Structure 1
Amino acid sequence: MTKPVKVALLMAASLFMEIMDGTIVTTALPTMTRALHVSATSGALMISVYLITVAIFIPLSGWISQHFGQKRIWLLAVAGFTLSSLGDALAVNFAMLLVMRVLQGIFGSLMTPTARIIVLEKTEPEQLLVMTSYLVWPALLAPAIAPVAGGAIIAVLSWRWIFLINLPIGIVIWVIGRQLIDADQPGARTQFDVVGFLAIALMSISILGGFEVGTHGRQWAWLAGLLLGCGAGAAYWSYHHLKTTATPLFTLETMHIQSFRVAQTGGLFLWLSVGAMPYLLTIFLQNIFHWSALKAGSYVLFIFLGNVCIKPLTTPLIQHFGYKINLLVAFVLIFASATGLAFVTLQTPAWIIMGLAVMSGGMRSLSLSSYNALSFADVPYQQRNDANTLNVVMQNLAQGLGVSLVSIVIALASTTMATASAYRLCFVFLGLLVLYPILEALTLPQDIGASTR
């Protein structure tokens, strides 16, 4: 195994720890709220404050890692994330837990983009498909494993252990990373773009906050609309500032590159769909079928099985058929699996539910692997740090919106139909989200991303 592969696997482990932590809390939330004697609404802040903190600070990652060194920042982020996880587990009250979640969010926002750029900054185009495949694994596995892992931990131990499991992972990867990652080289020092940071932070807070508020009922619709309007205004402000300032937080020039652009625009809709699917399937099986968290999680685990089964084939498939064909096939089957899950009942044979979950996971893996490689296929080396920051901002925003979007669709649909029907409609809605990526993929040249194949 070559050193770049070892580094990629190490970075993937840190990504897995961060994504797993961000998703496993959802399963444990009811138990945690009871143990800490807070309402379900207050308990949801444990998720919201983490997502919003990550969204605020993630745009800083590119400038900070370039200014202070990628290895130094990654080691700091892993150590901080691990220690704040310990703080979560030792929290004596809800306030202390929220403070620790904010700290986790800050260090997680530094760890994720820095891990990606350590792998991708100097990777040759012909190696991108292989190297990005290692970085896709955490995003595919963690959301699928989290429900069953969280259910098992809660059933056997206590909620504090969902944070304590980060300790051995964090300690091991920090020790290995200190020895394995090359020493930092002096980088270009640029002035910090305060205005750009504030504009993007306002955009992220407003959009994520608007969707979150929208899940709390019609009486808050006015505030949700106000926040989303503010987010739209901040998005325009961010775009205009980054395009016109001499030293932007990150450049938008990479959006002129077709392969990078489609990976961001189509990838946004794809993440909204496939990122929310494990969550929707989990709550559907628990709330409509009245299954236990552990049983529901064991079925969601088949999404993970689909990821695993197709992953060894993704690189050969892309190399043989190209990105366009693979993306179109993956999108169509994602739509088919989401629609199929909308029609399952308690009488549906288990193998059908499992098969649809496997199909969803497999096509999720194929499409995300394709988009991840396309993102950097034609990006010059000197622009990869900026491209990586923009890519992570877009991806994080989509992942943060997914769960809230599901909650809003179910809440709105429940006002005109039975709750079970509302859940089923939400499956169809997630399937329809891939229509835009399908239309976009149809316009792509057949040889797009040829340099990586």
Structure 2
Amino acid sequence: MNATPSHQALQPEFRLLVFLVSIGFFMQALDTTIVNTAIPAMAVSLGEDPLRMHSLVVAYVLSVAACIPLSGWLADRFGVRNTYFSAIIIFTLASLGCAFSQNLEQLLFFRVAQGVGGALLLPVGRLAMLKVIPRSQFLSAMSLMSLAGLIGPLIGPTLGGWLVEVATWHWIFLINIPMGLLGVLVTFKAMPNVTEPTVQKFDFSGFLFLVIAMTGLSLGIESFSSPQSSAGFSIVLIVGGLIAAAIYTYHAHTHEHALFRSKLFENKIYAIGILGNFFARLGGNALPFLLPLMLQVAFGFSPLITGLMMIPAVLGSLASKPIIRPIIQRFGYRRVLLVNTVLVGSCIASLALTTADTPLWLRTLHFFIFGMLNSMQFVSMNTLTLKDLPQADASSGNSFLSMIMMLSMSIGVALAGTLVNIFTAYYGSAQISLAFHSTLICLGCINIITAYIFWRIPRDTAV
């Protein structure tokens, strides 16, 4: 039986392009998770406190969030091939810089550079496929590419833990070098340099306000845990971020070529989805950082065992994929998100009941259930947010959602790290398990409270 026109198999001439984009997606997805299990070992090597190393994750994710708005404009202006090639070069050289860093400051600098490259890899690669591959084969191409995004988080924590044990933490960055070189070699053969004939002027002032807002909020929260920063300095950063966000709100309403026009939020479902995405992701996005730290620092597990323990959460995420759509169709977005948001928060908070002696089967089941619930949460929120956007706003709305997702991860990790340090100072370092447990309860409660946002979804919202 022949494939329908909208679901044709991918033709051979486009497979190399999909392979190339998959390389970039894999590198970006891998680097988001591979560092998590290596943080304690990196802290020892650099002479730092592992509880204050969350800045490594924040720096990378924040720079990704900040540069997402640039990706589409750069690709239209300079061509998808040139932009993608530059992204791979930046990411690869920054990985090399990370591997040879001698202190935390150098490592943070190169992590930011890595984030800049990572911010361009997936959006520009996806854009190249959209412009080159016929619509009838696009679904097949996206399905193949998405496998790379699933493999990265699946092997990232375990690979990071294994490399730390058999070699040194430097290798979690050095493994990007051969993949980057392969991507460089394939780029000019597989990707045409498609450009747009007319490109509107880039909204640099709006971009600047967004960067200041995101940086101020993330670094303000993170600096609360730093002994070198005063509470007043942290408050100034947060207030500065809020002021920049308010200025951008006015800018988006008045500027004709604003990156994200305010009319996007006239769509009630989109506005609810964006707000819900931001708050409901804080806890779920913090756990891939927080759990490996707790397992190693508080419970004394090895990096490799810690990485292996993260696999059930990813498998739970994969297992949930086939059932999400039928559940939403059966119960509707409102009921699914109300119930699932509370379940995710309860699951996060219940991790506070685990100890170093928790049976392996119970811990595995707990992580698996969290992975399923968290995946259902993310997919439900994303589809709700974008489903009613008109075609004219689809690109802008999707970019803003991608930026909010990364910003939520940045702030979530910063918040988790700050809470652990605050509770450690309160309970004392001898009670570090209690500090992690208290942090998990706080993050779970934030998620449960977020259910109020989804309460505002109209009852008659169509699937």
With the shorter chain as reference, the TM-score category is 0.7 to 0.9
* 2:99 counterpart residue number: 89
- Indicate the percent of aligned positions where both proteins have the same amino acid: 29
Structure 2 SS opposite 1:250: coil
Alignment CA distance shift 1:80-1:419 (3 Å): closer
Q: 1:1-24 CA distances to partner (integer Å, 9 max, x unpaired)?
A: 734997778646533421321332
**Maintained 8 Å contact 1:70/1:114:** yes
* 2:4 counterpart residue number: none
**Are residues 1:442 and 2:455 paired?**
yes
Q: 1:365-385 CA distances to partner (integer Å, 9 max, x unpaired)?
A: 112122233333222333233
**Are residues 1:394 and 2:394 paired?**
no
Structure 2 SS opposite 1:61: helix
One-letter amino acid of the counterpart of residue 382, structure 2: N
Alignment CA distance shift 1:335-1:419 (3 Å): same
* 1:349 counterpart residue number: 359
How far apart, CA to CA, are the structure 2 residues paired with 1:324 and 1:41?
38
Structure 1 gaps of 5+ residues are none
Q: Paired residue for 1:231, among 220, 235, 241?
A: 241
Q: 1:381-436 CA distances to partner (integer Å, 9 max, x unpaired)?
A: 33233223211221111111122111222233345444322321222222222234
**How far did residue 177 of structure 1 move?**
6.0
One-letter amino acid of the counterpart of residue 170, structure 2: R
Alignment CA distance shift 1:22-1:382 (3 Å): same
How far apart, CA to CA, are the structure 1 residues paired with 2:268 and 2:140?
21
Structure 1 SS opposite 2:256: coil
**Maintained 8 Å contact 1:132/1:372:** no
Alignment CA distance shift 1:97-1:78 (3 Å): same
How far apart, CA to CA, are the structure 2 residues paired with 1:368 and 1:221?
33
Bigger shift: 27-36 or 76-85?
A: 27-36
**Are residues 1:299 and 2:332 paired?**
no
**Are residues 1:270 and 2:280 paired?**
yes
How far apart, CA to CA, are the structure 2 residues paired with 1:66 and 1:35?
43
How far apart, CA to CA, are the structure 1 residues paired with 2:311 and 2:92?
26
**How far did residue 136 of structure 1 move?**
7.5
One-letter amino acid of the counterpart of residue 393, structure 1: M
Bigger shift: 140-149 or 18-27?
A: 140-149
**How far did residue 196 of structure 1 move?**
0.9
Q: Paired residue for 1:420, among 428, 433, 436?
A: 433
* 2:271 counterpart residue number: 261
**Are residues 1:149 and 2:159 paired?**
yes
**How far did residue 92 of structure 1 move?**
6.8
* 1:430 counterpart residue number: 443
Q: 1:121-171 CA distances to partner (integer Å, 9 max, x unpaired)?
A: 99999x999998888877776556433221111111222221122234334
How far apart, CA to CA, are the structure 2 residues paired with 1:12 and 1:277?
26
Q: Paired residue for 2:175, among 122, 142, 165?
A: 165
**Maintained 8 Å contact 2:55/2:222:** no
**Are residues 1:2 and 2:12 paired?**
no
**Maintained 8 Å contact 2:36/2:293:** no
The TM-score, its normalising length taken from structure 2, stands at 0.83
**How far did residue 63 of structure 1 move?**
2.5
How far apart, CA to CA, are the structure 2 residues paired with 1:133 and 1:368?
18
Alignment CA distance shift 1:353-1:83 (3 Å): same
* 1:21 counterpart residue number: 31
One-letter amino acid of the counterpart of residue 429, structure 1: C
**How far did residue 231 of structure 1 move?**
0.8
* 2:262 counterpart residue number: 252
* 1:360 counterpart residue number: 370
How far apart, CA to CA, are the structure 2 residues paired with 1:350 and 1:163?
30
* 2:111 counterpart residue number: 101
Alignment CA distance shift 1:342-1:374 (3 Å): same
**Maintained 8 Å contact 1:84/1:101:** yes
**How far did residue 31 of structure 1 move?**
3.3
**Maintained 8 Å contact 1:81/1:107:** yes
**Maintained 8 Å contact 1:121/1:384:** no
The TM-score, its normalising length taken from structure 1, stands at 0.85
**Are residues 1:372 and 2:370 paired?**
no
Structure 2 SS opposite 1:291: coil
One-letter amino acid of the counterpart of residue 287, structure 1: V
Q: CA RMSD in A?
A: 3.7
Q: 1:299-357 CA distances to partner (integer Å, 9 max, x unpaired)?
A: 22211121122223334444454433433343233123213211123343222211111
* 2:203 counterpart residue number: 193
Alignment CA distance shift 1:402-1:444 (3 Å): same
**Maintained 8 Å contact 1:340/1:356:** no
How far apart, CA to CA, are the structure 1 residues paired with 2:276 and 2:139?
18
How far apart, CA to CA, are the structure 2 residues paired with 1:246 and 1:288?
52
* 2:342 counterpart residue number: 332
Alignment CA distance shift 1:24-1:446 (3 Å): same
